[in-house]
């Protein structure tokens, strides 16, 4: 047993004693949940998943999300690996927006843009553990966070709750939020970053992928939407039919960082498979778009077990609204008036069965 695993089991024991009562902590903590062969470790830091183990085709537990070895590395994370991100996921252009006839300016944290809610966002703060429930058939873990009026420049006190339900082959996440006073933009997302062959297996170029959408949100060179949607048929963005990511791979710049528009009520957004592990991931979301990213900017990043992550070490499929919707009246609005509840569900399922 590694020191870290030991620490995890100790902490879970402590949390187990809390028995449902809310805890407020000023320290990073970890909570392990096991449902048959699926073992997921959560942290109150960013309400994150830090490891997700599922057996590969040989029965070997395989950790299929990128992450870090210790609390110091976790706190230094620049990529929000597997965190809950917000108040507004993805980018806001020109670090400004209008809400209810008021102009707001926000400190940029990525060139001229705001990425994933600003300098800290929700992915790099401590959340409150509200509930940890284990039954034979499912487990539930719930975190809450209060984001105060003016934080990162956003208006309104926001209350956020994230509830993860874990069953033997799936993670079902429900995110809800509302502002208690002012209208504010809300687009809170779950930034899971996978490598289905194992986080330490190299790159994801040999994965097969299918995305149920033929429209992307076109971007300019600063990765801000032009306002147009583009049909992907026959381009390197076309994953309507199963493709290997490496065969299709977009060049110059290499890799994907793009939102696909989901048809209303599509449910199943994407499927991915690694023939190295045999693991298939299916992703369902109630969001309007799915963001596909191939960790293009990840270079020489020290990850779990001292493994060094390089570009395309992982990929993410994230349910989001339209990027920079606050500056695009042609996109569905993500401004929520006071009291109006934002709600999003994401379902990630895991199987050893290939889907074609
Ligand atoms: C996911 O959780 C939501 C909310 O609890 C529930 O309504 C839904 O049926 C769940 N989906 C699955 C596939 O378990
Ligand atoms: C595994 O999948 C990749 C990507 O589709 C493909 O290039 C490769 O031939 C497959 N390998 C086997 C052994 O099927
Ligand atoms: C794009 O491909 C989809 C699925 O194959 C098809 O339904 C659609 O008609 C195509 N669109 C164009 C413009 O070719
Ligand atoms: C894609 O390619 C197919 C076959 O070559 C062709 O029939 C179709 O019109 C093309 N679609 C687009 C949008 O270019
Ligand atoms: C906009 O601001 C006005 C005045 O501050 C307030 O009365 C109104 O409720 C706000 N609208 C929304 C949608 O929050």
Question: Which 3 state secondary structure label does DSSP give 355?
Answer: coil
Q: How many domains does one find in the chain?
A: 1
Would the pLDDT of 234 be above 80? yes
Cα–Cα separations (whole angstroms), residue 272 to 22, 85, 239, 283: 37, 23, 11, 9
Q: What residues contact residue 235 under an 8 Å CB cut-off, 6+ apart?
A: none
Question: Which 3 state secondary structure label does DSSP give 148?
Answer: coil
CA 45 to chain CA centroid, Å, is 14
Ligand 2 pocket: which of 203, 244, 247, 279 to mutate (most atoms within 8 A of CB): 244
Q: What is the mean pLDDT of residues 74-85?
A: 96
202 in any annotated domain: yes
Ligand 4 pocket: which of 215, 216, 232, 233 to mutate (most atoms within 8 A of CB): 233
Would the pLDDT of 84 be above 60? yes
Sheet containing 280-285: which strands, arranged edge to edge? 128-134, 139-147, 158-167, 170-179, 342-351, 280-285, 267-273, 208-211, 243-244
Euclidean distance between CA atoms 309 and 199, whole angstroms:
9
Euclidean distance between CA atoms 81 and 59, whole angstroms:
26
Fill in the DSSP letter of residue 19.
T
**Residue owning the nearest CA to atom 10 of ligand 1:** 172
Euclidean distance between CA atoms 80 and 301, whole angstroms:
13
Res 7: pLDDT: 40
206 CA distance to ligand 2 middle (Å): 7
Helix (H) or strand (E) holding 177: strand 170-179
**Residue owning the nearest CA to atom 3 of ligand 5:** 100
246 in any annotated domain: yes
- Residue 174 near ligand 1, beta carbon < 6 Å: yes
210 in any annotated domain: yes
Ligand 5 pocket: which of 183, 326, 340, 341 to mutate (most atoms within 8 A of CB): 183
Indicate the pLDDT class of residue 303, thresholds 50, 70 and 90: very high
Torsion angle in degrees (nearest 10) through CA of 291, 295, 298, 299: -160
Would the pLDDT of 89 be above 50? yes
186 in any annotated domain: yes
Helices (H), the chain: 3-18, 71-75, 245-248
Euclidean distance between CA atoms 319 and 272, whole angstroms:
15
- Kindly give the number of the ligand 4 atom that is closest to the alpha carbon of 231: 13
59 in any annotated domain: yes
What CATH code is carried by the domain that includes residue 89?
Answer: 2.70.98.10
Would the pLDDT of 14 be above 70? no
- Residue 338 near ligand 5, beta carbon < 6 Å: yes
**Residue owning the nearest CA to atom 3 of ligand 4:** 234
153 CA distance to ligand 2 middle (Å): 47
Cα separation of the two ends of the chain: 39
**Lowest mean pLDDT, pick from 49-58, 90-99, 123-132, 243-252:** 90-99
Percent of residues, the chain, with pLDDT higher than 90: 79
Res 25: pLDDT: 62
Mean pLDDT of all residues in the chain?
91
Res 17: pLDDT: 33
Q: What is the mean pLDDT of residues 128-143?
A: 97
Percent of residues, the chain, with pLDDT higher than 70: 93
Indicate the pLDDT class of residue 60, thresholds 50, 70 and 90: very high
234 CA distance to ligand 4 middle (Å): 6
Q: Which ligand is nearest to the Cα of residue 276, counting in written order?
A: 2
pLDDT digits (tens, 9 = 90+) for 162-185: 999 999 999 999 999 999 999 999
Domain hosting residue 15, numbered range: 3-351
- CB of 116 within 8 A of CB of 84? no
Burial of 240: CB neighbours in 10 Å, binned 0-12, 13-18, 19+: middle
- CB of 321 within 8 A of CB of 187? yes
- Residue 230 near ligand 5, beta carbon < 6 Å: no
54 CA distance to ligand 4 middle (Å): 39
Euclidean distance between CA atoms 296 and 282, whole angstroms:
22
Indicate the pLDDT class of residue 106, thresholds 50, 70 and 90: confident
Ligand 1 pocket: which of 138, 162, 165, 169 to mutate (most atoms within 8 A of CB): 165
Euclidean distance between CA atoms 189 and 86, whole angstroms:
7
To the question of pTM greater than 0.85 for the whole model, the response is: yes
Indicate the pLDDT class of residue 71, thresholds 50, 70 and 90: very high
356 in any annotated domain: no
- CB of 314 within 8 A of CB of 272? no
Would the pLDDT of 18 be above 70? no
pLDDT digits (tens, 9 = 90+) for 42-59: 999 999 999 999 999 999
Instruction: Name the residue among 260, 257, 262 with its Cα closest to residue 221.
Output: 257
Q: Is the dihedral of CA 12, 135, 279, 116 positive or negative?
A: negative
Q: Which ligand is nearest to the Cα of residue 142, counting in written order?
A: 1
pLDDT digits (tens, 9 = 90+) for 182-210: 999 999 999 999 999 999 999 999 999 99
Phi, psi of 207 (to 5 degrees): -75, 145
What is the DSSP pairing of strand 193-194 with strand 315-320? Answer: antiparallel
Q: What is the mean pLDDT of residues 29-42?
A: 97
What residues does ligand 4 touch, defined as CB less than 6 Å away?
A: 231, 233-234
Euclidean distance between CA atoms 268 and 42, whole angstroms:
25
- Residue 274 near ligand 2, beta carbon < 6 Å: no
- Kindly give the number of the ligand 5 atom that is closest to the alpha carbon of 338: 14
Largest CA distance in the chain: 58
- CB of 99 within 8 A of CB of 326? yes
Q: What is the mean pLDDT of residues 251-278?
A: 92
339 CA distance to ligand 5 middle (Å): 11
Res 349: pLDDT: 98
What is the DSSP pairing of strand 280-285 with strand 308-309? Answer: unpaired
74 in any annotated domain: yes
């Amino acid at each position: 047993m590694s020191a870290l695993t030991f620490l995890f089991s100790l902490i879970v024991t402590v949390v187990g004693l809390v028995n449902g009562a809310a805890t407020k902590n000023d320290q990073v903590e970890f909570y392990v949940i096991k449902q048959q062969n699926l073992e997921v470790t959560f942290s109150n830091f960013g309400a994150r998943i830090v490891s997700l183990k599922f057996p590969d085709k040989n029965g070997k537990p395989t950790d299929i999300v990128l992450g870090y070895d210790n609390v110091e590395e976790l706190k230094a994370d620049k990529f929000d690996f597997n965190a809950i991100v917000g108040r507004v996921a993805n980018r806001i252009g020109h670090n400004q927006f209008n809400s209810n006839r008021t102009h707001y300016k926000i400190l940029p944290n990525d060139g001229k843009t705001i990425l994933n809610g600003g300098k800290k966002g929700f992915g790099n703060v401590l959340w409150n553990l509200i509930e940890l429930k284990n039954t034979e058939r499912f487990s539930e873990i719930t975190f809450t966070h209060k984001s105060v009026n003016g934080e990162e420049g956003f208006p309104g006190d926001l209350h956020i709750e994230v509830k993860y339900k874990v069953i033997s082959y799936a993670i079902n996440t429900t995110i809800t939020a509302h502002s208690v006073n002012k209208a504010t933009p809300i687009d809170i997302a779950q930034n899971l970053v996978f490598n289905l062959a194992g986080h330490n297996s190299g790159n994801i170029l040999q994965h097969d992928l299918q995305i149920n959408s033929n429209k992307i949100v076109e971007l300019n060179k600063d990765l801000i939407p032009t306002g147009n949607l583009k049909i992907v048929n026959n381009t390197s963005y076309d994953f309507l039919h199963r493709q290997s990511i490496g065969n299709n791979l977009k060049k110059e710049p290499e890799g994907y960082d793009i939102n696909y528009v989901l048809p209303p009520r599509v449910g199943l957004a994407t499927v991915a498979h690694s023939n190295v592990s045999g693991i298939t991931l299916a992703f369902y979301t109630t969001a309007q778009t799915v963001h596909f990213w191939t960790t293009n900017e990840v270079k020489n990043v020290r990850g779990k077990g001292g493994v060094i992550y390089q570009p395309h070490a992982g990929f993410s499929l994230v349910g989001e609204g339209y990027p920079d919707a606050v500056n695009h009246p042609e996109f569905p609005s993500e401004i929520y008036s006071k009291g109006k509840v934002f709600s999003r569900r994401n379902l990630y399922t895991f199987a050893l069965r290939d889907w074609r």
